[in-house]
Chains A and B, each alone.
Chain A
Amino acid sequence: MNKKSLFVLLIVSSFILTGCMNDVSELYEGHAYDTGVFRENYYSTWNDNLVNRVGEVAKTYQVTAVNSFQLNNQEDLENPNNLWGNDAYRNVETSEFYSLLADTPHEQTGYGYGPSNNLSAIDSAFARGFLSRLYDGRVHCDGVTYAQTRVQIDESGYGALFPKELTSYRYFALALRGADESDATYFNVNVNIVVKFYVYDHNNSLYIPYVFEMKDFPVMTNSGGATTIIGFYFAGVMGTGSDLDLIRRSSGMSIEFSLAGEYDHYTTDRNDADEGKEHFALMLYEVLLPKSSWN
């Protein structure tokens, strides 16, 4: 073998051997978190960096009914008190609103609210992995993919790194509902949700959390595929000053929750086996950062 061939072979071999193997980095046996048994389907994975390399909380913001919005139906979407500016419009010139119900990914892009504002549509890097369920644009159960649409969490929630860094952002929203194992249907349970954005501090090699405490939000529970969308504008919560830049370059996010009212008959701990208590879970359908950009 001459030197040229050997060189080509070495280059190709090293390329292969040092391959990223990205496409096999997150594999599951069969349908993950979709066994049909309520207590087996909790997703509670935290990225190691968000457990072991986290600094002190830099700042905490309170999100209440005053500086947030909640969308339960099309009327809520079209209500100018909820989404700001043109955010609810699919066509400003003709005053056409997005459809909250239309949420088939790709097909209803530009028409449905979910498929037009989801993270996978903003950046395809969000399309891979189990959490792509939260980025695909399905803001409620579409009657086709069922459990594949949602992520079930207990109070300890989950924490994940974004595939890229957040460089600009406008508002944050969560499509979710509550769920327990009882036969009761269509009732509200108030929850406190803690959303943390993590900005990497290169000097200290730590992820610095910025906390958004979303307090006392009523969420529809055991509502089949129906969800509620709750959210807030960063400018509405952090103000329009320099604070607004604090979460720029966020590279991770976590979500935890607790029950806001007196719900003695519930436990939100997946491992809690107290007799007589109902297990309560949040079913997350979508994490939305509309009009954000990533690098």
Chain B
Amino acid sequence: MDLKTKLHALVDKYDALIIFLVIECLALTAFSLADANIIFRYLGFLIAIVLIPFALMFTSKKEWLSLGLFSLPLIIIAFLTGFSTFTRDMGYGSLDNLSVVLGTLAFFFLGFAVRRVKKFKIDIALLTIGVAMALLVFLSLVYSLYQYGPFHVALYDGLVYYYDGRLFVVSEETKWLLGFSFVEMSTNYVTLFGTMLSTSLAGLLYVSPKNEPRKFYITLAIGLVGLLSIVLLPNLDALYLLIPVLIFALLYRFIRSREKVGVAVQYIFFALLGIAGIVLLITVLNAANISFLSNFIAGNSLLNRLFNTNRFVSPWNEVLKAMLTSQGFFGFPLTYIDGLVANTGAFEFEIIKEGGFLAFLALIAFILLVIFSMYRYSAKSKDASYIKIIILTLLIAVFLHGSFLWNTFPLTYTDDYYFSFFRSAPYLLILFIIGYAYYPLRGTPLINHEAIPSREGGEALSTSQFEKEEEIKL
């Protein structure tokens, strides 16, 4: 029995078990059981190892190459968010840091590889993630309503209370189940989970309550728990960020002649991407204190407001300035107080603190690759539209929320417990989904190729044969 036959036998025998383990791992991560992300990362890594045969069986050599190039920025991110000046100074511990490296790569690989398991159904995985996270959010929401009542953020806006002799603003916090107890947590942190759940409502645009009542009502319940967790506070910033997600979902669903609007949308998209790139470049050069540029910006009131004195950019500048020093290149040491406490609210800039300049560049590159990959996934994948719209809106929602409302010190009573986006449960889940929806930038994945016969019958198309037929390049 050759290796390929052995692998086939292995795959056929254990695929149900593997799917169960993956779903279990996702559910535990989504529920953040005991806040034990380190365990989930290692668990994900172990399951990822088991999935290697599946990936080997159903991925062509060129796909591997494409995947390798796609993953390169993620590998850099994984290593630098795991081991950097910042993580050393924070004293996370080598086991924890190693889990970040392995977990980051593993959850991405889990998504990629589990898609190659024939019995795997992404809608089940998404519903599992949704139900587990909805349970976490629901428990927190009920306790929060019990302690504050509904709409406490609006009703008691700016009012303070005293705890342990210190003053706190009641409208900035809510209750959150962390580990095995409820804690006071920033509303922005909590509503990230609500935002993620809310995106499931987009899936309802493709589900009929008459034809698929069970799927419809479960999806509705998950989405409503998420939406209510935001509305009943309410967190208006989080709601505002859901507007572009809603617009995207409606456009995605109801503009049927995509071919016609496609070109226009592409131009607008690339224009926006270009503007964002130029703004980012100017921001970095300005922070680097390139004299002619800095003076020019400082001398123009509009540019000065845009690049120096508005509430978003000011903390970015703090972090970018610190990044461009010799000590801040691989993440910040704790002595960089200004840079560390600058609340950028954006995971794209928080990575500068945690991983440094290279990690920042890698993250930008990875985001760009993901955008193109998702574009291809949306256009080419045979997944149901219900799945596609949930995945795409989920990624957009997390991107927007993480870019404006991420809070690194969300615990109300403790200001020395740093919450890293890159060590969080939502990050792992997003990596899984990116891995699942990963689509090479050219060509079609082997598993999508209709000519490939089933595992049970016929002779499998050899990788080399397939590669001849389908050119897949990054």
Contacts and interface: CB of A to CB of B under 8 A. Distances in A.
Contacts of A24: 147-149, 152, 155-156, 159, 161, 170
Contacts of A27: 156, 159-161, 170
B164 A19 contact: no
B365 interface: no
B274 interface: no
Interface string A9-38: 000100110011111101111111000000
B158 A120 contact: no
Specify the main secondary structure of chain A where it touches its partner.
mixed
Contacts of B95: none
B282 interface: no
A254 interface: no
A23 B170 contact: yes
B222 to A, nearest CB: 15
Contacts of B166: 136, 145, 148
Interface residues of A, number: 31
Interface string A146-176: 0011000000000000000000000000000
B146 A133 contact: no
A20 B165 contact: no
Interface string A61-77: 00000000000000000
B167 interface: yes
Contacts of B146: 15-16, 19-21
Size bracket of the B interface: 20 to 34
A105 B161 contact: no
B165 A105 contact: yes
Most buried by A among B147, B149, B158, B165: B165
Interface in B195-212: none
A186 B314 CA distance: 45
B240 interface: no
A156 B439 CA distance: 75
B176 to A, nearest CB: 13
Nearest to A285: B165
B413 to A, nearest CB: 9
Contacts of B167: 31-32, 148
Interface stretch (A85-93, A123-131, A237-245): A123-131
B224 to A, nearest CB: 12
B267 interface: no
Contacts of A15: 142, 146
Nearest to A26: B161
B254 interface: no
A192 interface: no
Contact of A29 (B158, B162, B165): B158
Interface of B: 142, 145-150, 152, 155-156, 158-167, 170
20 contacts: A15-B146, A23-B147, A24-B152, A24-B170, A26-B161, A26-B162, A28-B159, A28-B162, A29-B159, A32-B167, A127-B163, A127-B164, A128-B162, A129-B162, A130-B162, A132-B165, A135-B165, A138-B165, A145-B166, A148-B165
Interface of A: 12, 15-16, 19-24, 26-32, 105, 120, 127-133, 135-136, 138, 145, 148-149
